[in-house]
């Protein structure tokens, strides 16, 4: 029988770039390879099931989408982030979903921002983000940036 892993498993979510990477890392933590993929799938399913979007998200995205092309730019795992968007029924609001793993560079590196520019042609770009990596990466890419720490977008000055 496999032993309890010596390190906390949630740390694996930050390190693993893809589902196969996560499965491999779970195996390396002492979980039998035959169970590692099932374990990774359960982590994935639990993360998506726990995803909650604010009730006002749909209205805010609808309003923003009337004036702007919208994209998600995340350092999160690709299938996990897309799964969260789909589970929250938010995916239809976005013209592009770019993960740092798709690009091979993580925010605050400007390369993920460049990928958004390749996918969405616009006169200018702005990032509404909740982390220093969001704001610093946007500024490094020459974008406007706004730090968003919760509340409604209507509360944010124009």
Torsion of CA 91, 96, 100, 104, to 10 degrees: 140
Verify cis geometry, omega within 30 degrees of 0, for the bond prior to 120. no
Q: What is the pLDDT of residue 16?
A: 39
Indicate the pLDDT class of residue 1, thresholds 50, 70 and 90.
very low
> Quick one: CA dihedral 65, 117, 110, 107, positive or negative?
positive
Q: pLDDT (tens digit, 9 = 90+) per residue, 67-118? A: 999 999 999 888 888 988 999 999 999 999 999 999 999 999 999 999 999 9
What's the number of CA atoms in the CB half-sphere (13 Å) around residue 14?
4
123 contacts: CB under 8 Å, gap ≥ 6: none
* Residue 133 burial by Cβ neighbours in a 10 Å radius (0-12, 13-18, 19+): middle
Distance CA 149, CA 131 (A): 9
Please give the pLDDT value at position 4.
43
* CA distance between the termini of the chain: 58
- The domain locations on the chain are 10-49, 57-155
Range 115-126 average pLDDT: 96
pLDDT of residue 5: 43
Cβ-contact 60, 153 below 8 angstroms: yes
Q: What is the pLDDT of residue 86?
A: 92
Express each pLDDT in 5-64 by its tens digit: 444 444 444 433 455 666 666 666 666 666 777 777 787 788 788 877 888 889 999 999
Q: What is the pLDDT of residue 10?
A: 43
What pLDDT is recorded for position 113? 97
Distance between CA atoms of residues 55 and 36, nearest Å: 35
C-alpha to C-alpha distance for 111 and 116, rounded to whole angstroms:
9
Residue 95: alpha-carbon gap to chain centroid: 15
Superfamily classification of domain 57-155: HAD superfamily/HAD-like (3.40.50.1000)
**What was the pLDDT predicted at 95?**
96
Specify the pLDDT at position 18.
54
């Amino acid at each position: 029988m496999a032993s309890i892993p010596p390190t906390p498993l949630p740390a694996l979510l930050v390190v693993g770039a893809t589902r196969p990477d996560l499965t491999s890392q779970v195996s390396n933590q002492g979980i039998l390879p035959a169970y590692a993929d099932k374990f990774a799938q359960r982590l994935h399913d639990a993360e998506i099931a726990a995803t909650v979007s604010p009730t006002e998200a749909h209205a805010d995205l609808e309003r923003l989408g009337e004036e702007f092309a919208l994209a998600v730019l995340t350092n999160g795992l690709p299938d996990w982030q897309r799964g969260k968007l789909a589970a929250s029924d938010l995916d239809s609001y976005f013209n592009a979903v770019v993960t740092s793993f798709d690009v091979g560079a993580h925010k605050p590196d400007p390369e993920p921002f460049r990928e958004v520019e390749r996918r969405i042609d616009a006169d200018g770009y702005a990032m509404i983000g909740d982390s220093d990596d969001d704001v610093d990466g946007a500024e490094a890419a020459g974008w406007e940036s706004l730090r968003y720490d919760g509340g409604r977008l209507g509360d944010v000055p124009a």
